[in-house]
Structures are given as structure tokens and as C-alpha cells.
Amino acid sequence: MRVRSWRSLALALSLGLVSVAAAQTASKPAHKSLPWKKYCRSEEGFCFLYPPSWSMLGQVFEGRGVVVAPLQEEDRAIWDEVTVALIIPSPTGDEDAVTIDQAIGQAVSSVRQSGQAFETLQRQQRTVDDKPAEMVKLRYAEGSSKREWIEELVFVEGPESEIYSLALKCAPASLARMEPLFLRIVNSWSLPEHEPPPSGEVKPPAKAPGTSAAPAGKASPTSAPPKS
């Protein structure tokens, strides 16, 4: 009898502990992810989202773009980062428009000259915000430090033949972590549609014979839309 009582007591205690643990688990609030930050550059007309823990590091391309990055322990010069910018303004006068292919050629040539063991990993056409775009992914070793880098560049053609760029630069070891975030930034990029300018005042309806004009600032009864 005494052994059976101890067994019953041990079973009751076990069930009690399980119930308490389940209640504590159920009472924990669900973790809510913070919304991404939104940045809009009105002068160049583009917007994009970036992770809430990232910081804005500064402007580039003579103020036509910005750099964002997560906080890192290394020296600032070797941080993984993302640059979003208007790199080639729309042509003026008799200037010829620069194509995406030409913009990629310029970027690849610049990287090739400054780096070593240069390699093109991937290149593909795509669309961003329903606009023609192209992506190229490069790998190289920096000439002075021999540090290896991956650069993933997305070029977007705007409605007035201007060229925008979204660029990821990171260490090869960081690519698995940084690339999904970069692609989400690319997918969030947009050129907000501007509201059309006012088309002028609406002319009042013609005055019917035998009626008087409506007072200024008030609609004439004959101009009210019919009720549905």
C-alpha cells in the first residue's frame, strides 16, 4: 500500500509539473518581427525598404544615392553593405541614352581594373517594379588588401532612360546571410507614381434660358451628379 501511494504521489507531481510548464509556454507572447524601414529619395524619385536593425551610413554618387548596412564589429572599410542610387541621370539635349548593357560594362570594367582573380558568377535579365533590369554577380580579390569580395549589382532602367543601381558588396562568407536580405530590398524598390498636375478649373454648365447663374463657389443645381 505504501509503495502504491508513493507511486501515485510521484505521478501526480509529474502531471502537475507538465501542466505548469504548458501554462508558462502558452502565456509567452508571440515574437513579432519589426517592420522594415522605408527610405524615399524625392530628388531622384525612388523608394526602398531595408531591415529595421540596419543603419543609414551616408550618401554616394554626389548625393544621388545612399548606403545602408547592418552593424558589424570589423573596421568600417570592410563592412558588408548595400548601395542604392541613381547612377546615370536621364540624357539631356542631344545626349545618347546609356543602356543597361553599357552600364554593366562600365561597372565590370571598373571592378576588373581594381581587383584580381576576377570572375563573373552570374548574369540574368529580370524586372524590378515592372521596369527592365539586369543583374550581374562578380567575385574578385581586392588589389591592395587581397581581401575577397562578392558584388551583386542590379541595374534598373527608368522611364526617362535614367539608370538606377542596387548593389550588394559583401565577403563570400556573408553571402548566404546577406543575399536574401538584398533581394528583398531589390523587390521593395520602386519609383512612386507622381500625381498628375491639375488640369485647370472645370467650366460651369451652360446657363439654360430663363435661369440665373449659380453664386460663385457654389454648384448649380443642374450640375449635381444624378443619384444612383
Distances (CA, A) of 210 to 206, 207, 213: 12, 8, 10
Residue 143: the pLDDT is 77
Cell of 187: 523587390
**Hey, what amino acid is at 227?**
K
Across all residues in the chain, what is the average pLDDT? 79
- Rounded mean pLDDT, 4-14: 50
Residue 9: the pLDDT is 45
Choice between 176 and 31, residue whose per-residue pLDDT is larger? 176
Residue 86: the pLDDT is 95
Residue 192: the pLDDT is 81
- Rounded mean pLDDT, 158-162: 92
**Residue-wise pLDDT tens digits, 23-38:** 555 555 566 788 999 9
Question: Which element (helix H / strand E) includes 200?
Answer: none
Residue 74 has pLDDT above 80, yes or no: yes
pTM metric for this prediction: 0.71
Looking up cell 576588373, which residue turns up? 112
Question: Taking the domains of the chain in order of start, what are their residue ranges?
Answer: 37-70+79-177
- Rounded mean pLDDT, 93-114: 89
Looking up cell 472645370, which residue turns up? 202
Name the class of domain 37-70+79-177: alpha beta
**Hey, what amino acid is at 105?**
G
Cβ 133 vs Cβ 155: under 8 Å:
yes
Choice between 41 and 56, residue whose per-residue pLDDT is larger? 56
- Rounded mean pLDDT, 172-179: 96
Cβ 163 vs Cβ 100: under 8 Å:
yes
